[in-house]
Amino acid sequence: MSNTNTTDERDLGQAGEQLSTAPREEPTATLPSMGVIGWARWFWRQLTSMRVALILLFLLSLGAVPGSLIPQNSVDELKVQTFKEAHTTVSPVYEKLQFFDVYSSVWFSAIYILLFVSLIGCIVPRTWQFVGQLRGRPPGAPRKLTRLPAYTTWRTDAEPERVREVAHSLLCRRRFRSHVVGDAVAAEKGYLRETGNLLFHIALIVMLIAFAGGQLFKSEGGKLIVEGDGFANTITQYDDFKSGSLFDDDDLAPFSFDLQDFVGTYERNGPQRGTPRTYEARVTYAEGADGETKKKVIEVNKPLVVDGTKVYLNAHGYAPVISVKDGKGKEVYRSAVPLLPIDNNVTSTGAIKVMDGYKDKNGKKSQLGFQAFFVPTFAGDGQGTMFSQYPGLDYPVLALNGYYGSLGVDSGLPQNVYQLDTSKMKEFKDSNGDKLKKRLRPGETMKLPDGAGSITFESVEEWASFQITRQPASGWALTGAVAAIIGLAGSLFIQRRRVWVRAVRGADGVTVVEMAGLGRSESAKLPEELTGLAIALHDEAPTASGPDPDHRPDQPSEEPAEGAEK
Amino acid sequence: MNLAAATNENLANISNTLIYSSMAVYTLAFFAHIAEWVFGSRSKVGRTAAALNKDSATGPAVKAQAAEKGGTAVLERPQVVTRSAAGSRDVPDGPGAAGGTFKGDLWGRIAVSLTVVAFAVQAAGVVARALSVQRAPWGNMYEFSITFSTVAVGAYLILLALRKNVRWIGLMLVTTVLLDLGIATTTLYTDSDQLVPALHSYWLWIHVSTAIICGAVFYLGAVGTLLYLFRDSYENKIASGGTPGKFATSVMERLPAAKSLDTFSYRINAAVFPLWTFTIIAGAIWAGDAWGRYWGWDPKEVWSFITWVAYAAYLHARATAGWKGRKAAYLALVAFGCWLFNYYGVNIFVTGKHSYAGV
Task: Inspect the interface and report whether the beta carbons of B285 and A478 lie closer than 8 Å.
Answer: yes
Considering only the beta carbons, identify the residue of B197, B288, B310 that sits closest to A277.
B197
**Which residues of A fall within a CB distance of 8 Å from B316?**
1, 50, 53-54, 57
A131 with A24, same domain: the answer is yes
Query: Under a CB-based contact definition with an 8 Å cutoff, are residues A167 and A185 in contact?
Result: yes
> How far is residue A503's CA from residue A511's CA, in Å, rounded to a whole number?
6
Number of domains in chain B: 1
Q: Identify the domain containing residue B320 by its residue range.
A: 3-54+89-349
**Which residues of B fall within a CB distance of 8 Å from A467?**
292
> How far is residue A285's CA from residue A224's CA, in Å, rounded to a whole number?
16
Task: Inspect the interface and report whether the beta carbons of A312 and B292 lie closer than 8 Å.
Answer: yes
Considering only the beta carbons, identify the residue of B81, B200, B289 that sits closest to A553.
B81
Task: Inspect the interface and report whether the beta carbons of A50 and B274 lie closer than 8 Å.
Answer: no
Task: Inspect the interface and report whether the beta carbons of B286 and A67 lie closer than 8 Å.
Answer: no
> How far is residue A217's CA from residue A215's CA, in Å, rounded to a whole number?
6
- Cα A553 to Cα A132, A185, A303, A514, B27: the distances in Å are 36, 20, 67, 10, 50
Task: Inspect the interface and report whether the beta carbons of A301 and B299 lie closer than 8 Å.
Answer: no
| Residue B339 domain flag | yes
**Which residues of A fall within a CB distance of 8 Å from B4?**
none
> How far is residue B159's CA from residue B167's CA, in Å, rounded to a whole number?
9
Nearest to A45 by CA among A123, A158, A122: A122
| Residue A7 domain flag | no
A300 with A350, same domain: the answer is no
Which of A3, A48, A262 is the best residue to mutate to test the B interface, defined by the most B CB atoms within 10 Å of its own CB?
A3
A277 with A251, same domain: the answer is yes
Provide the residue-wise pLDDT of chain A in tens; the chain has 566 residues.
333 333 344 445 566 655 666 655 555 555 556 788 888 888 888 888 888 888 898 899 899 999 888 888 887 777 888 888 888 888 999 999 999 988 889 999 999 999 999 999 988 999 999 999 889 888 888 888 888 888 898 888 888 889 999 999 999 999 999 999 888 999 999 899 999 999 999 999 999 999 888 888 888 888 999 999 999 988 888 988 888 888 888 888 889 999 999 998 888 877 667 778 888 999 999 988 777 889 999 988 788 988 888 898 888 999 999 999 988 888 999 999 999 988 888 899 999 998 888 887 777 888 899 999 999 998 877 766 788 888 998 899 999 988 988 887 776 666 778 888 888 888 888 888 888 888 899 999 998 888 888 999 999 999 999 989 888 888 899 999 999 999 999 998 888 899 999 999 888 888 899 999 988 766 778 888 898 899 889 888 888 776 555 544 444 444 433 333 33
Q: What is the pLDDT of residue B47?
A: 60
pTM of the model: 0.81
**Other CB atoms within 10 A of residue A76 CB:** 14
| Residue B197 domain flag | yes
A341 with A475, same domain: the answer is no
| Residue A207 domain flag | no
Q: Which residues 6+ apart lie within 8 Å of A61 measured at CB?
A: B305, B306, B309, B310, B313, B338
Task: Inspect the interface and report whether the beta carbons of B297 and A527 lie closer than 8 Å.
Answer: no
Burial environment of residue A234 by CB neighbours within 10 A (0 to 12, 13 to 18, 19 or more): exposed
Q: What is the pLDDT of residue B81?
A: 81
Nearest-CA residue of chain B relative to A481? B281
Q: Which residues 6+ apart lie within 8 Å of A157 measured at CB?
A: A510, A511, A541, A542, A544
SS3 state of residue A17: coil
A251 with A272, same domain: the answer is yes
| Residue A204 domain flag | no
Query: Under a CB-based contact definition with an 8 Å cutoff, are residues A463 and A348 in contact?
Result: no
| Residue A206 domain flag | no
The pLDDT confidence band at residue B52, using thresholds 50, 70 and 90, is low
Burial environment of residue B72 by CB neighbours within 10 A (0 to 12, 13 to 18, 19 or more): exposed
A417 with A499, same domain: the answer is no
pLDDT at B133 over 50: yes
Task: Inspect the interface and report whether the beta carbons of B193 and A300 lie closer than 8 Å.
Answer: no
| Residue A203 domain flag | no
The pLDDT confidence band at residue B70, using thresholds 50, 70 and 90, is very low
DSSP H or E run through A81: helix A77-86
A357 with A444, same domain: the answer is yes
Q: Which residues 6+ apart lie within 8 Å of A517 measured at CB?
A: A148, A149, A150, A151, A497, A498, A499, A500, A526, A527, A529, A530
Q: What ipTM was reported for this prediction? A: 0.84
Q: What is the pLDDT of residue B98?
A: 81
Please name every residue paired with A256 in a beta bridge, in sequence order, or none if there are none.
Answer: A232, A286
Considering only the beta carbons, identify the residue of A65, A300, A489 that sits closest to B274.
A489
Task: Inspect the interface and report whether the beta carbons of A57 and B346 lie closer than 8 Å.
Answer: no
Which of B265, B315, B320 is the best residue to mutate to test the A interface, defined by the most A CB atoms within 10 Å of its own CB?
B320
Considering only the beta carbons, identify the residue of A64, A275, A299 that sits closest to B306.
A64
**Which residues of A fall within a CB distance of 8 Å from B87?**
7
Question: Measured between CA atoms, how close is B83 to chain A, in angstroms?
Answer: 5
Q: What is the pLDDT of residue A412?
A: 65
Considering only the beta carbons, identify the residue of A22, A513, A543 that sits closest to B319.
A22
| Residue B71 domain flag | no
Q: What CATH code is carried by the domain that includes residue A175?
A: 3.30.310.50
Q: Compute the 3-state secondary structure of chain A and give helix, strand, coil in percent, each to the nearest 5.
A: 35, 30, 35
Q: Identify the domain containing residue A79 by its residue range.
A: 18-137
Task: Inspect the interface and report whether the beta carbons of A150 and B320 lie closer than 8 Å.
Answer: no
**Which residues of B fall within a CB distance of 8 Å from A269?**
1-2, 5
Q: For CA atoms A555, A560, A562, A565, give the dihedral sign.
A: positive
Q: What is the pLDDT of residue A374?
A: 93
Which of A10, A11, A60, A61 is the best residue to mutate to test the B interface, defined by the most B CB atoms within 10 Å of its own CB?
A61
- What one-letter code names the amino acid at B204? L
Question: Measured between CA atoms, how close is B313 to chain A, in angstroms?
Answer: 6
Considering only the beta carbons, identify the residue of B5, B81, B197 that sits closest to A299.
B197
Number of domains in chain A: 4
The pLDDT confidence band at residue B84, using thresholds 50, 70 and 90, is low
A174 with A268, same domain: the answer is no
**Which residues of B fall within a CB distance of 8 Å from A193?**
none
∠ Cα A370 A223 A458 (to 5°): 35
| Residue B59 domain flag | no
SS3 state of residue B261: helix
SS3 state of residue A518: strand
| Residue B177 domain flag | yes
A455 with A330, same domain: the answer is yes
Task: Inspect the interface and report whether the beta carbons of B84 and A522 lie closer than 8 Å.
Answer: yes
Nearest-CA residue of chain B relative to A489? B274
| Residue A5 domain flag | no
Task: Inspect the interface and report whether the beta carbons of A530 and B296 lie closer than 8 Å.
Answer: no
Nearest-CA residue of chain B relative to A101? B297
Considering only the beta carbons, identify the residue of A149, A271, A299 that sits closest to B191.
A271
| Residue B358 domain flag | no
| Residue A440 domain flag | yes
- Note the maximum CA span of chain B: 79
A324 with A391, same domain: the answer is yes
> How far is residue B329's CA from residue B36's CA, in Å, rounded to a whole number?
28
Nearest-CA residue of chain B relative to A152? B80
| Residue A6 domain flag | no
A329 with A446, same domain: the answer is yes
Query: Under a CB-based contact definition with an 8 Å cutoff, are residues B274 and A489 in contact?
Result: yes
> How far is residue B167's CA from residue B164's CA, in Å, rounded to a whole number?
8
| Residue B148 domain flag | yes
| Residue B269 domain flag | yes
A71 with A85, same domain: the answer is yes
Considering only the beta carbons, identify the residue of A25, A299, A469 that sits closest to B293.
A469
Nearest-CA residue of chain A relative to B353? A75
**Which residues of B fall within a CB distance of 8 Å from A489?**
274
